[in-house]
A = this chain, B = another copy of it.
Amino acid sequence: MTYVEHSSDALDLAAAGAGLTDVEAVWADYVNSPKIRKLSLSPHEAIFYEGDPADHIYELAGGSVMLYKLLPDGRRQVVEILKEGDLFGFQRGRNYDCTAETLSGVELRALNRRDIDVSLSLQRYIGERMFAKMESLHEHAMLLGRKSAMERVASYLMRFVPGRGTADCTGPAEDIEVDDGMIELSMTRQEIADFLGLTIETVSRAISELKRRGLIRIEKQDRILIPRICNLCRLTGMH
């Protein structure tokens, strides 16, 4: 008896030839295979609602998506902000535990739980992504439970600076004298507030305060220039 029943197609076989550890290549092969259904969505469109039967798993191929939960009285908490490459829609139970809504124009790939369940490499790829996501959920718990409003907003802005503001960030490259960055906010103040556990007004005040202190400059509404990244990073509470 062989283990053929573990794989529905040639993906793992190809991977075995390429070296077992290259799960990312297997994943790329899988999601680019013609049987994967692709979807395009407009900004602020719901993908699924909290409580809906969890019948699909998605990969975000482009754009950004938020996941949020609601309390019966309407209070909202955005629990994840997803970016290209992120996976969502996995559930333990029969129903989604949160609502998924697009923040921008979005390209999705709808995956089949069945394909994934029978491939070791796909499982491993997903595992890797899940562990990363758990770390970012831990970080977010720290933000929500223990950071001040200003620290939350600074941390939020730092999210969008690639490669900076993480635990292992070592500051700017040494040979660089200007350490600035331009970031793009695709979320409204309400969405940011619901992500940070604050109100619109508190978020707005914190951003104004950063402007006043010269730590950020607003160019054209939702484009923000950070003149000295390290200065902003120091306000996150993490360094």
Chain B residues closer than 8 Å to A75, beta-carbon distance: 146, 237
Contact status of A138 and B237, CB under 8 A, knowing A1-B16, A128-B92: no
Chain B residues closer than 8 Å to A106, beta-carbon distance: none
List residues of A (187-209) whose CB comes within 8 Å of B's CBs: 194, 196-197
Partner of A124, one of B117, B139, B168: B117
Q: Please, how many residues of chain A have a CB less than 8 angstroms from a CB on the other chain?
A: 60
**Copies in the assembly, this chain:** 2
Is A182's CB within 8 Å of the partner chain B? no
Q: Are B145 and A71 in contact (CB under 8 A)?
A: no
List residues of A (66-88) whose CB comes within 8 Å of B's CBs: 67, 69, 71-73, 75-77, 79-80
Q: Are A141 and B144 in contact (CB under 8 A)?
A: yes
Contact status of A135 and B92, CB under 8 A, knowing A73-B237, A141-B144, A142-B77: yes
Interface centre among A127, A128, A147, by most B CB within 10 Å? A127
Q: Among the listed stretches A2-10, A157-165, A222-230, which one makes contact with chain B, having 4 or more residues with CB under 8 Å of it?
A: A2-10
Is A18's CB within 8 Å of the partner chain B? no
Q: Are A238 and B67 in contact (CB under 8 A)?
A: no
**A-B pairs with beta carbons under 8 Å apart, 17 shown:** A2-B4, A3-B3, A3-B6, A69-B139, A75-B146, A75-B237, A77-B142, A80-B138, A93-B168, A97-B167, A118-B120, A120-B123, A126-B127, A130-B134, A141-B141, A144-B145, A145-B196
Give me the interface of A with B, judged by CB distance under 8 Å: 1-7, 12-13, 16, 20, 67, 69, 71-73, 75-77, 79-80, 90-93, 97-98, 117-120, 123-124, 126-128, 130-135, 137-142, 144-147, 167-168, 194, 196-197, 237-239
Q: A3-B12, A3-B13 are in contact. List 8 more A-B contacts (CB 8 A).
A: A1-B16, A67-B138, A71-B142, A72-B237, A75-B237, A79-B141, A91-B135, A144-B145
